[in-house]
Amino acid sequence: MKETLEKLKETSIDLIKNAVNFDELEKLRVRYLGKKGELTTVLKGLGKLPKEEKPIIGKLANIVKLEITDLLDEKIQTLEKKKLEEKIMKESIDITLPGRRLDPGRIHPITKILMEIKEVFVGLGFAVVEGPDVETEYYNFEALNIPVDHPSREMWDSFYFKPGLLLRSHTSPVQVRVMEKQKPPIKIIVPGKCYRRDSVDATHHWMFHQLEGLLIDERVTFADLKGVLLEFARRIFGKERRAKFIPSYFPFTEPSAEMAIDCFACNGKGCNICKQSGWIEILGAGMVNPKVLKAVGYDPEIYNGFAFGLGPDRIAMLKYRINDIRLFYDNDLRFLEQF
Ligand code: PHE
């Protein structure tokens, strides 16, 4: 009996070790461990053995059974590993296939023009400052010498949360906020969003952008204003640009002006971009009104300066030849992907 078992062990281990696929392994499992398997038969026959042999043979048979089971498991794992390796080999990556394109997204045209404009002014020594979109009437109007009967103060021209609190209608309130906190010299630009109850059309939107500028020091002149703004215009629209300053009115500057540049599309000859006039108005500006300086505690006898406000939406429309402001805010990728 013992010899039979030992023989069985030897052959089965040999066969299992040499099996090359799952089919063969399964056949071997049935052959030895199946219901009518060789080892099963031995175990079943234990009862017929003489008493003193039973425990010895029984023990041996169980050990053999364990060894065969372990070996079978081991072999299955080896075969599975081999199968996986073969699969991986076959599936090797085809590096001749073009990769899947990952679209990284683009910079919004307004952000882009803001980056360009900021670079110009930062290069001229201006610091970039921001202020709140929700503003008090004091900063949005009073401190800027905007009279009570000014139309922008009306409920239907601005967005009010409650009396005294509204979405800012321009970035000029940040002038006051900064002057209250700092002493001259001041040299800042303020990019940001503004809100007005305009009906939306190709050139108006209830939300748009402004970039405010403020320079306060001793003995600042209108020539300084012209120099800075002409430099800006040339850096954005071409170094051959000329500028003209047209008298205008803002309550917080005195004197005030609109700056126009000769048309960069036709060099001033007249085309549809400049509406045949040869000139394009691009910003409002002026010398800071002494009343504004007094309101923040500056002595207008010592300090003065200039301020300007320009519209990045309009600058972008001109520079990138976009004919409808709504395109910036529609979120249409066919438009945005062009930048
Ligand atoms: N705040 C003005 C506007 O919204 C623009 C401006 C700013 C004019 C600074 C002069 C100086 O129209």
Residue located nearest, by CA, to atom 7 of ligand 1: 309
Over residues 215-241, mean pLDDT: 97
Helix axis angle for 312-319 and 109-123, nearest 10°, is 100
**What single-letter DSSP state applies at residue 101?**
P
d(CA 44, CA 56): 15
Residues 30 and 81 in one domain: yes
The CA 32 to ligand 1 mean position distance, Å, reads 96
Task: Provide the pLDDT for residue 216.
Answer: 98
Give residue 54's pLDDT. Answer: 86
Q: Same structural domain for residues 142 and 281?
A: yes
Residues 113 and 22 both lie in one domain: no
What single-letter DSSP state applies at residue 34?
S
CATH code for the domain in which residue 161 is found? 3.30.930.10
Read off the pLDDT band of 327 (50, 70, 90): very high
**How far is it, in rounded angstroms, from Cα 141 to Cα 293?**
14
Q: Which residues contact 101 (CB under 8 A, 6 or more apart)?
A: none
Residue 47 shares a structural domain with residue 130: no
Res. 39: pLDDT tops 90: no
Local confidence band at 4 (pLDDT 50, 70, 90 cut-offs):
confident
Judge if 87 and 162 occupy the same domain: no
| Cα torsion through 174, 177, 179, 181, rounded to 10 | -140
Distance (angstroms) between ligand 1 centre and the Cα of 286 equals 9
**Domain ranges, residue 240:** 109-336
115 C-alpha to ligand 1 centroid (Å)? 20
Cα 55 off chain centre by: 77
Say yes or no: 144 and 52 in one domain. no
**How do residues 282-309 score in pLDDT, each as one tens digit?**
999 999 999 999 999 999 999 999 999 9
Token pair of 280 as six digits: 């394009």
Q: Whose CA is nearest to atom 5 of ligand 1?
A: 309
The DSSP annotation for 300-312 comes to: TTTEEEEEEEE-H
In a domain, 213, yes or no: yes
Mean pLDDT value across residues 201-216:
97
Would residue 213 be called left, alpha or beta, if left means φ above 0 and alpha means ψ between -120 and 50 degrees? beta
* Test site for ligand 1: of 198, 210, 291, 306, most ligand atoms within 8 A of the Cβ: 210
Distance 285 CA to ligand 1 centre (A): 6
pLDDT tens-place string over residues 89-98: 888 777 888 8
Task: Measure Cα distances from 157 to 166, 196, 198, 279 in Å.
Answer: 11, 6, 7, 29
In the reported structure, the alpha carbon of residue 6 is separated from the centroid of ligand 1 by a whole-number distance in angstroms of 103
Rounded alpha-carbon distances, angstroms, from residue 77 to 28, 33, 74, 262:
16, 19, 5, 81
| Residue of minimum CA distance from atom 4 in ligand 1 | 170
179 CA distance to ligand 1 middle (Å): 16
**pLDDT per residue as tens digits for the range 143-174:** 999 988 888 888 889 999 999 999 999 999 99
Query: Atom 3 in ligand 1: which residue has the minimum CA distance?
Result: 170
CA–CA separation, 134 and 27 (whole Å)? 81
Contact between 253 and 307 (Cβ < 8 Å): yes
Pick the residue whose CA is nearest to atom 9 on ligand 1. Answer: 308
**Residue 97: inside a domain, yes or no?**
no
Residues 130 and 32 in one domain: no
- Among residues 27, 56, 91, the one where a domain terminates is 91
CA of 250 to the centre of ligand 1 (A): 7
Same domain, 154 and 54: no
The minimum-distance atom of ligand 1 relative to the CA of 194 is 4
Helix (H) or strand (E) holding 233: helix 222-237
Residues with a CB atom less than 6 Å from ligand 1:
170, 172, 212, 250, 253, 284-286, 307-309
pLDDT at residue 97, rounded to an integer: 83
63 located within any domain: yes
Check whether residue 73 and residue 204 sit in a common domain: no
Handedness of CA 302, 129, 142, 315 (dihedral sign): positive
Please report whether residue 103 resides in a domain: no
CA of 283 to the centre of ligand 1 (A): 8
Question: Residue 247: phi, psi to the nearest 5?
Answer: -55, 140
Same domain for 46 and 192: no
Q: Say which amino acid occupies 174.
A: V
Per-residue pLDDT, 48: 86
188 pLDDT exceeds 90?
A: yes
The pLDDT of residue 50: 86
Per residue in 252-267, pLDDT (tens digit) is 999 999 999 999 999 9
Give percent above pLDDT 90 in the chain. 76
Based on the fold, state whether residues 75 and 134 are members of the same structural domain: no
User: Residue 93 C-alpha to ligand 1 middle, in angstroms?
Assistant: 61
- The answer as to whether 98 is a domain residue is no
Which of 91, 122, 152 is at the close of a domain?
91
Residue where a domain stops, chosen among 59, 91, 123: 91
Considering the domain architecture, whether residues 187 and 296 belong to the same structural domain is answered as: yes
Q: What is the best residue among 170, 258, 293, 310 to mutate for testing ligand 1's pocket, by most ligand atoms within 8 Å of CB?
A: 170
The answer as to whether 218 is a domain residue is yes
Question: DSSP 3-state assignment of 330?
Answer: coil
Of 178, 217, 229, the closest CA to residue 305 belongs to 217
Burial (CB count within 10 angstroms: exposed 0-12, middle 13-18, buried 19+), residue 40: middle
Ligand 1 atom 2 nearest Cα: 309
How far is the C-alpha of 178 from the C-alpha of 292, rounded, in Å?
12
pLDDT score of 1 more than 90: no
Q: Strand locations in the chain, DSSP E?
A: 127-128, 134-136, 160-162, 165-167, 186-195, 207-218, 243-250, 253-262, 279-288, 303-310
In a domain, residue 99? The reply is: no
**Residue 201 is assigned to a structural domain of this protein:** yes
Mean pLDDT of the chain: 94
Tokens (6 digits) for 115: 């980056």
Number of domains in the chain: 2
Reading the block at residue 83, the tokens are: 């199968």
